[in-house]
């Protein structure tokens, strides 16, 4: 109470002079306090900057912090059974950071004296050096051997600024035999830099530039990481990273390929130029994709030598050319089953319909041109549709095609996928030509002539197709059902689990109706491989499984395009025919559909069918084991 | 007999600074500081003229805020003090409810066209409110009055602490506390409060502090223990300062700073760039400038004519000093790392406008004076 009163009375007599005195005292006190603390900061600075200066000077010189970009590991590629088809292996390369080298020529000289490099390496290093930032590592030589790494390490002290860098580099264990199925990664060049996300590729040296590796580049590459590291004066990393954002590896891919079948197919085609395609007709999975000859994709990864590259590009066999994807071949007689089915289904012919084959055929009432059969004496009297397929009778199909007309043919053949993309996930696929009135108007500026329809009936003339298209055209016949887009990748691993990709339907489909027409065609195709006059019977002697097929022998030269889209005329064995063969097996419940093209190899039944036989043997041998 | 302040006679002259109610000694100190600061920032930002331009724009706005506040007579905002304080508290509550997050803390209010941190207002509102409260009462304050003032300080401090923004809440609490100190709180009470704090500290450590806060303190006590983590800032800034030596490595020549090893080198840790490039002499110069500004602030406080302006001027000055001391202390490693910029030197920071506004108030206190009988 008393205190309270005092306060109240205090209010009444507020003493300004006394209050000012208190404030001034306190302020002076505060200023002294402030000054002391400021002095303590100065003392601290003196301690750091003068007393401990040398200590910190040393640490400053030794401790350099730098940010390093860390390339993501490229996604791995497996076959359908989990066998590695594309992996990443450590490769040692010799590099120089220009900024850290006092005299580059001298350093290069020492390295040369150690016999680690030759003059050509110095030349290409100097070319790389121009326009590169001084603190960035520049490649001197890639793919050092273990021994070379050891020599370098022993002399490292004389080579300040040079270092051996271990990098993960793409490796394809099956090399040449799978080159055209996988494509390859190659070194990133200036032109590539313009199209890619440079920030994400700052630490990456290679990218997919061909085939599957290119098509799935976004998925396989991953996301760049970085880490802050402490480095010494030489730029060597000390201790653990200070901060780290780990890179996100690319996704792994699982392919539809079966490496055993792929190798069997590569062996089967042997020295022939050509292509073997094996697909699963039930879902469009590509089980084997061979284009022969191939090349070793590993050569391209770390840089191919000029001589080697010249040899590849100069070869008449065109090993770099992907025949499976871009080779355009006249399908020849292999399309006869499809045409026969169209004829039956649309009532142009019936099962009982026959023609006489004297060995040639002429357009009714216009005898100015003779279309010959491949056997000069013909296939005799009463050739029905089955016999026409089994013995590959040309006049029967001249007649059928002539009567159906080009519009019916092309419209139906589109449904089998001719002239259309197979949808395969590789990119750069050619779609070939399924001739039609419209196509001829657009591309040849000319009307369609009936004589051209006749040639179309035996798969020649303008008609051409890739081996992939041929295999995919047989698939619906095999299953009697839907046609799928072809695909190589069946699952993708996003680091959590495998995400299976469902098969996709092709854009155009064949309607097989009640299946009765198809049955006639399928029985005939089985006889091709079985019946004494069947064109592929020799190849399928003693097969322990059932199969169905159709041969083709194409008199025309290959009409192939090189990478620039220019026509390439085959120079060798140009008088020999291209042998073509399509098949599926087992006949009743097909699991595989095959297309084989062997260039200038002769008769389809003698050259191409045995290749298919060997592949099927491999497939069913494995199945029965 | 009559005490006529010299500054008032100045006003009769036609000098521009007098007409604008600017205090020349303080203005000179600020201009030297800002000029030196821009020099350091140019180097710390990696010679970025872009950052420099933005900083200059910010400074221009801040100086305009200063001129504006210097022009207002203190009696005006004295009258409005309780409303400013209450409005500030409401805005802080609004932040809790509808505030925007940035960098993991909820500090911002978005008004569509602009957004700001209400805690900035409180940096001025709290010392104003404490000064206002004491201005009508007899000094030194009684325990009961101290309890009221404690609440005035604690409420905004708590609201800012939970945003969370430790640095600003320390500043605001100390700005209020300084006003109390200057108001003549009895030494007995002050000492017993300090004693209680010391006893309470271990309890706080054990039961209240979050793991990350403990880690900060532990790191401060022994940075080498967490060399790669939070100790990294402290070690690297000490290396930068220490390697600067007496004369420094020269402007733009600080290898540590320029090689980007020093984190936040253009903001909170800009003092390390100064230490590295300008050496001990640079540090001495900077601290002298700060001391000049603080000294002038105290002069204004002493010369002020009434309790409100005296307390306010003193509290503003001391708060500014805390900024300087906490930042330099943290960068040189004698205080734990608390996120406070080096005032008027660090890049950016919304605090710059508030700081200059508070200097405007100081100038206003100095230049708007009545003729008083001694």
pLDDT of A5 above 60: no
Contact A25, B309 (CB under 8 A): no
Choice between A233 and A130, residue whose per-residue pLDDT is larger: A130
Whether residue A111 has pLDDT greater than 90: no
pLDDT at B101 over 70: no
Greater confidence (A550 vs A531) lies with A550
CB contact under 8 A, B182 and A46: no
Ranges A15-24, A398-407, A548-557, B178-187, most confident: A398-407
Residues B337-350 have pLDDT tens digits of: 777 889 999 987 67
In the predicted structure, residue A284 carries a pLDDT above the cut 50:
yes
Per cent of chain B over pLDDT 90 is 47
Candidates B133, B137, B139, B278: best to mutate against A (most CBs of A within 10 A) is B139
Phi, psi at B142, each rounded to 5°: -85, 170
Closest residue of chain B to A54, computed from CA coordinates: B243
Q: Is A133's pLDDT higher than 60?
A: no
**pLDDT, position A235:** 60
- On the question of pLDDT at A371 being above 90, the answer is no
The pairs formed by B77-84 with CB atoms below 8 angstroms and a separation of 24 or more are B77/B128, B77/B361, B78/B128, B78/B132, B78/B135, B78/B308, B78/B309, B81/B125, B81/B128, B81/B129, B81/B131, B81/B132, B82/B129, B82/B132, B84/B121, B84/B124, B84/B125, B84/B128, B84/B129
The distance of Cα A463 from the centroid of its chain, to the nearest Å, equals: 27
The average pLDDT across B238-244 equals 90
Q: For all residues of chain A together, what is the average pLDDT?
A: 86
Nearest of A372, A333, A279, A276 to residue A524 by alpha carbon: A333
The per-residue pLDDT for A41 is 95
Tell me whether residues A22 and B140 touch, CB distance under 8 A: yes
The yes-or-no verdict on residue A581 having pLDDT over 90 is yes
Specify the range with the lowest mean pLDDT, choosing from A395-409, A551-565, B185-199, B359-373: A551-565
Say yes or no for a CB contact (<8 Å) between A23 and B183. yes
Interface test with B, best of A37, A41, A46 (most B CBs within 10 A): A41
Select the more confidently predicted residue: B273 or A305. B273
Considering only the beta carbons, identify the residue of A57, A239, A241 that sits closest to B243: A57
For residue range A66-83, what is the model confidence (pLDDT) as tens digits? 777 888 999 999 999 999
Mean pLDDT across B99-111: 67
Closest to A56 (Cβ–Cβ): which among B238, B283, B284? B238
- Give residues with Cβ within 8 angstroms of A504, minimum separation 6: A284, A423, A484, A485, A487
Q: Which pair of structure tokens corresponds to residue A577?
A: 């025919």
Mean pLDDT, residues A32-56 taken together: 93
In order, the DSSP letters of A156-211 are: GGG-TTEEEEEEEEEE-TTGGGGHHHH-EEEE--HHHHHHS-TTTTTT--EEEEEH
User: In which band, very low, low, confident or very high, does the pLDDT at A558 lie, cut at 50, 70 and 90?
Assistant: very low
Give pTM, 2 decimals. 0.58
Answer with the residue of higher pLDDT: B45 or B296.
B296
Partner A contacted by B307 (CB < 8 A): yes
When pLDDT is averaged across residues B295-306 and rounded to a whole number, the result is: 92
In the prediction, which pLDDT does A416 show? 95
| Choice between A230 and B353, residue whose per-residue pLDDT is larger | B353
Q: Which residues in chain B (175-204) have CB-CB distances under 8 A to chain A?
A: 178, 181-184
Please tell me the least confidently modeled range out of A291-295, B5-9, B224-228.
B5-9
**Selected residue with higher pLDDT from A293 and B371:** A293
User: Which pLDDT score, from 0 to 100, does residue A242 have?
Assistant: 74
CA neighbor of A216 nearest in space, from A483, A486, A491: A491
* pLDDT(A623) > 60: no
State mean pLDDT over B151-170. 88
Which residues of A fall within a CB distance of 8 Å from B228? 239-243
Cα dihedral value B134, B138, B141, B143, nearest 10: -110
Return all residues near A494 (Cβ < 8 A) that are at least 6 apart.
A251
Task: Give the mean pLDDT of A414-440.
Answer: 93
ipTM of the complex: 0.89
Instruction: Note whether B259 contacts A67, CB cutoff 8 Å.
Output: no
């Amino acid at each position: 109470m008393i205190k309270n009163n005092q306060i109240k009375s205090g209010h009444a007599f507020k003493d300004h002079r006394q209050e000012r005195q208190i404030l001034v005292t306190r302020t002076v006190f505060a200023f002294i306090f402030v000054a002391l603390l400021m002095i303590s900061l100065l003392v601290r600075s003196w301690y750091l900057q003068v007393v401990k200066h040398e200590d910190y000077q040393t640490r400053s010189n030794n401790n350099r912090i730098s940010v390093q970009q860390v390339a993501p590991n490229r996604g791995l590629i497996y076959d359908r059974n989990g066998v590695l088809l594309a992996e990443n292996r450590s490769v040692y390369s010799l590099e120089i950071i220009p900024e850290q080298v006092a005299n580059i020529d001298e350093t290069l000289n020492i390295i040369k004296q150690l016999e680690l490099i030759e003059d050509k390496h110095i030349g290409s290093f100097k070319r790389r050096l121009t326009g590169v930032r001084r603190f960035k590592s520049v490649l001197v030589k890639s793919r050092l051997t273990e021994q070379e790494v050891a020599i370098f390490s022993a002399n490292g002290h004389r080579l300040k600024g040079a270092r051996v860098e271990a990098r993960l580099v793409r490796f394809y264990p099956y090399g040449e035999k799978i080159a055209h199925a996988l494509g390859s990664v190659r070194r990133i060049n200036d032109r590539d830099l313009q199209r890619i996300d440079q920030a994400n590729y700052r630490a990456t040296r290679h990218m997919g530039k061909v085939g599957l590796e290119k098509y799935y580049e976004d998925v396989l590459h991953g996301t760049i990481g970085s880490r802050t590291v402490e480095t010494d004066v030489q730029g060597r990393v000390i201790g653990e990273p200070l901060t780290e954002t780990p890179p996100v590896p690319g996704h792994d891919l699982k392919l539809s390929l079966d490496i055993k079948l792929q190798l069997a197919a590569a062996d089967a085609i042997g020295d022939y130029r050509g292509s073997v395609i094996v697909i699963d007709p039930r879902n469009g999975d590509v089980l084997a994709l061979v284009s022969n000859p191939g090349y070793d994709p590993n050569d391209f990864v770390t840089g191919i030598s000029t001589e080697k590259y010249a040899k590849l590009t100069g070869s008449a066999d065109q090993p770099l050319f992907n025949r499976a994807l871009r080779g355009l071949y006249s399908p020849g007689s292999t399309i006869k089953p499809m045409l026969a089915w169209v004829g039956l289904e649309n009532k142009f012919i019936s099962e009982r319909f026959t023609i006489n084959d004297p060995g040639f055929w002429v357009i009714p009432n216009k005898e100015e041109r003779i279309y010959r059969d491949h056997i000069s004496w013909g296939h005799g009297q009463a050739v029905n549709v089955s016999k026409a397929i089994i013995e590959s009778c040309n006049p029967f199909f001249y007649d059928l095609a002539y009567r159906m007309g080009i519009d019916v043919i092309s419209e139906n053949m589109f449904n089998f996928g001719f002239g259309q993309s197979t949808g395969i996930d590789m990119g750069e696929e050619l779609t070939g030509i399924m001739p039609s009135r419209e196509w001829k108007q657009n591309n040849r500026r000319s009307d369609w002539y009936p004589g051209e329809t006749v040639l179309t009936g035996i798969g020649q003339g303008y008609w051409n197709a890739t081996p992939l298209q041929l295999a995919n055209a047989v698939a619906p016949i095999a299953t009697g059902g839907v046609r799928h887009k072809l695909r190589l990748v069946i699952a993708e691993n996003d680091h959590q689990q495998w995400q299976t990709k469902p098969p996709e339907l092709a854009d155009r489909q064949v309607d097989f109706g009640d299946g009765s027409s198809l049955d006639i065609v399928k029985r005939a195709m089985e006889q091709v491989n079985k019946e004494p006059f069947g064109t592929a019977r020799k190849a399928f002697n003693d097969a322990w499984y059932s199969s169905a097929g159709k041969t083709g022998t194409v008199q025309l030269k290959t009409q192939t395009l090189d990478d620039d889209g220019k026509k390439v005329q085959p120079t060798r064995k140009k008088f020999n025919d291209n042998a073509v063969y399509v098949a599926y097996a087992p006949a009743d419940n097909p699991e595989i559909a095959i297309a084989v093209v062997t260039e200038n190899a002769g008769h389809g039944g003698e050259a191409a069918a045995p290749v298919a036989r060997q592949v099927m043997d491999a497939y069913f041998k494995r199945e029965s084991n | 007999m009559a005490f006529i302040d010299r500054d008032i006679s100045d006003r009769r002259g036609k000098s521009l600074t007098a007409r604008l109610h600017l205090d020349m000694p303080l203005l000179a100190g600020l201009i030297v500081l800002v000029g030196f600061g821009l020099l350091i920032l140019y180097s710390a930002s990696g010679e970025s003229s872009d950052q420099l331009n933005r900083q200059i724009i910010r400074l221009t706005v801040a100086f305009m805020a200063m001129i504006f506040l210097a022009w207002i007579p203190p009696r005006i905002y004295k009258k409005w003090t309780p409303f400013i304080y209450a409005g500030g508290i409401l805005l802080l509550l609004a932040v809790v409810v509808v505030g925007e997050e940035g960098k993991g803390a909820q500090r911002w209010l978005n008004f569509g066209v602009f957004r700001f941190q209400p805690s900035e207002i409180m940096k001025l509102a709290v010392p104003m409110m404490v000064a206002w409260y004491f201005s009508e009462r007899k000094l030194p304050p009684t325990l009961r009055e101290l309890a009221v003032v404690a609440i005035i300080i604690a409420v905004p401090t708590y609201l800012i602490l939970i945003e969370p923004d430790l640095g600003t809440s320390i500043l605001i609490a100390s700005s209020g506390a300084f006003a109390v100190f200057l108001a003549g709180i009895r030494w007995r009470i002050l000492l017993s409060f300090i004693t209680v704090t010391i006893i309470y500290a271990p309890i706080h450590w054990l039961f209240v502090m979050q793991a990350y806060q403990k880690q900060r303190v532990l790191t401060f006590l022994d940075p080498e223990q967490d060399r790669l983590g939070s100790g990294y800032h402290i070690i690297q800034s000490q290396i930068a300062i220490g390697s600067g030596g007496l004369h420094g490595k020269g402007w733009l020549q600080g290898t540590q700073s320029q090689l980007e090893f020093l984190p936040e080198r253009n903001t909170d840790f800009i003092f390390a760039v100064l230490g590295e490039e300008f050496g001990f002499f640079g540090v001495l110069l900077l601290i002298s400038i700060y001391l000049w500004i603080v000294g002038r602030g105290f002069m204004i406080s002493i010369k002020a004519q009434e309790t409100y302006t005296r307390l306010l001027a003193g509290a503003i000055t001391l708060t500014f000093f805390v900024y300087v001391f906490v930042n330099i202390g943290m960068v040189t490693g004698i205080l734990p790392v608390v996120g406070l910029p080096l005032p008027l030197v660090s890049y950016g920071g919304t605090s710059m406008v508030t700081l200059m506004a508070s200097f405007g108030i100081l100038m206003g206190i100095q230049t708007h004076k009545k003729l008083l009988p001694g």
